[in-house]
Amino acid sequence: MKKTLTLLLSLLVSYSYAQNADSVAIRKIYNEALSNGKSYEWLRHLTKQIGPRLSGSAGAQKAVDWTKLVMEQQGFDRVFLQDVMVPHWVRGAKEEAFIHIGKQKMTVPIAALGGSVATPPRGIEAQVIEVKSFPELRALGPEKVKGKIVFYNRPMDPTKINTFEAYGGAVDQRANGATEAAKLGAVGAIVRSMTNVHDDNPHVGGMRYGTGVALIPTAAISTNGADLLSKSLKENPSLTFYFKQNCETLPDAKSYNVVGEIKGSEKPDEIIVVGGHLDSWDLAEGAHDDGAGCVQSMEVLRIMKALGIKPKRTIRAVMFMNEENGLRGGVQYADLAKKNNEKHIAAVESDNGGFTPRGFGIVGKPEQREKIMAWKPLLSPYGLAEIGPGGGGADIGPLAQTGTVLLGFKPDSQRYFDYHHTTVDRFEAVSQRELELGAASMAAIVYLLDAYGL
Ligand SMILES: [Zn+2]
């Protein structure tokens, strides 16, 4: 009995000692990120010196070269590229659009959706049919839709507290709106921007065409433009809408994922990934989406090195290519991992903006989730309270097939869609402190994943 008690006590002591050592290590991680952090200056370079970097563009290539160089300069054990062929869509000359009522023409801001075809060179002008959903559109039938422009105007639900949920509830209009409209003979599709703010910025994003359906041009209209069009339609149902866009899909281009690595000292064959996506929409500097995630990921490795943390497992920072309009980089990374028989125990992605950290969403088996959730007391002092089941991330998603546990970094979501996929997603929209807290949060979870495995 006495022996068992002594054993229990010594176990407890060693456990609390480990906990204490972990909390000291995590404190040091935050101190390093907040005192000597590099993520903000890196973000400045990525957004201001390189700027927009849609897949296949010169900007994307510059971003590949520069992040590779930065990680080499940091002296990580290995920095390498993974080849990947990516879609190459270009916007061409700026779009034009106006609402036409009698002699009056009211210009509205639009931007072609990524992947869309162009209009004919003279543009398209047609009557407009406004709908809020696909069922509503189908109920109208081809007789009411044929030859018209379908205007999708269902806003993101402002009552959802998590704005990603609101986005998920509206984005079908952007992704599949053109195809659903074309099935009924429409000549174009205009989609209300995915945001809760009322502004003049078209929020772009990816779309895809279904097979066997005519490819009709589709564009995002700013929320103010959408409100004006809706109001005008109520007063003048027979008004016409004109738009012209000049985009084009070129042959696939060669690009790369960029990977930096610190080799594990005890279990080098177990890999932990921390990453973001390097590409951005062509209109944006891509500061929150997803320059923030990239510089935070590089910062995780820098912090470990600066603090002399020698991870047991191999830690990789991955800059994925082509999340925005194809996900080819994420798919290629997982394919190569499988082909090379690599064991990825966990992958952490930051692709929800550089805002104040709130927690991590976990995709994994219940016992794996519970193990991670048990670290909450170590992380909650830093505002990381929301640690539980939830989304991982688009780029790391394909790794789930081979049993990798996915963790999605969750910053506060309230302002993300104010900037998402627009010209205002620029460096100035990111707070240095929030960005650095995010980098530290990711470093802390990677530290724990490495220390205890899964
Ligand atoms: Zn993103």
More confident residue, 65 or 17: 65
Ligand 1 center from residue 290 Cα (angstroms): 5
Per-residue confidence (pLDDT) for residue 14, from 0 to 100: 60
Ligand 1 center from residue 434 Cα (angstroms): 17
Per-residue confidence (pLDDT) for residue 391, from 0 to 100: 84
**Could you read off the pLDDT of 255-281 as tens digits, one per residue?**
999 999 999 999 999 999 999 999 999
Evaluate the omega torsion of the peptide bond into residue 290 and state whether it is cis, within 30 degrees of 0.
yes
Per-residue confidence (pLDDT) for residue 453, from 0 to 100: 97
Give the residue-averaged pLDDT of 318-331: 98
Residue pointed to by tokens 């989406």: 289
pLDDT more than 70, % of the chain: 96
Question: Residue 127 above 70 pLDDT?
Answer: yes
Tell me the CB-side half-sphere exposure of residue 453, using CA atoms within 13 A. Answer: 10
Tokens at 3, concatenated? 């022996």
Tokens at 158, concatenated? 């402002």
* Active-site entry in 32, 270, 299, 323: 323
Is the domain of 141 the same as that of 61? Answer: no
**Residues near 449 by Cβ (< 8 Å), separated by ≥ 6?**
272, 313, 345, 346, 348, 372
* Structural domain contains residue 217: yes
* Structural domain contains residue 16: no
3-state secondary structure of 59: helix
Is the domain of 216 the same as that of 264? Answer: no
Confidence of residue 19 (pLDDT cuts 50, 70, 90): confident
Instruction: Say which CATH number the domain at 321 has.
Output: 3.40.630.10
Per-residue confidence (pLDDT) for residue 407, from 0 to 100: 98
Is the domain of 258 the same as that of 397? Answer: yes
Give the residue-averaged pLDDT of 49-60: 98
Helices (H), 270-405: 292-306, 328-339, 366-373, 376-379
Give the residue-averaged pLDDT of 1-5: 59
Tell me which residue of 200, 191, 224, 218 sits closest to 112, measured CA to CA: 218
0.85 cut: is pTM over it? yes
Tell me which residue of 196, 198, 188, 221 sits closest to 111, measured CA to CA: 221
Give the residue-averaged pLDDT of 232-254: 98
Q: Number of folded domains in the chain? A: 2
Query: Which of 246, 264, 281 lies at the terminal end of a domain, its last residue?
Result: 246
Neighbours of 104 (CB within 10 A): 11
Per-residue confidence (pLDDT) for residue 408, from 0 to 100: 98
Instruction: Say which CATH number the domain at 114 has.
Output: 3.50.30.30
Residue type, 77: D
Is 270 marked active-site?
A: no
Per-residue confidence (pLDDT) for residue 5, from 0 to 100: 61
Is the domain of 307 the same as that of 380? Answer: yes
- The Cα 275–Cα 134 span in angstroms is 35
pLDDT more than 90, % of the chain: 95
Question: Residue 32 above 80 pLDDT?
Answer: yes
Query: Residue 119 is part of which domain span?
Result: 92-246
Question: Residue 401 above 90 pLDDT?
Answer: yes
> Is there a contact between 190 and 243 (Cβ–Cβ < 8 Å)?
yes
Ligand 1 center from residue 420 Cα (angstroms): 8
Confidence of residue 12 (pLDDT cuts 50, 70, 90): low
Long-range contacts of 306-311 (CB under 8 A, 24+ apart): 306/32, 306/36, 307/25, 307/28, 307/29, 307/32, 309/25, 309/447, 310/265, 311/262, 311/264, 311/265, 311/272, 311/450
Ligand 1 center from residue 121 Cα (angstroms): 32
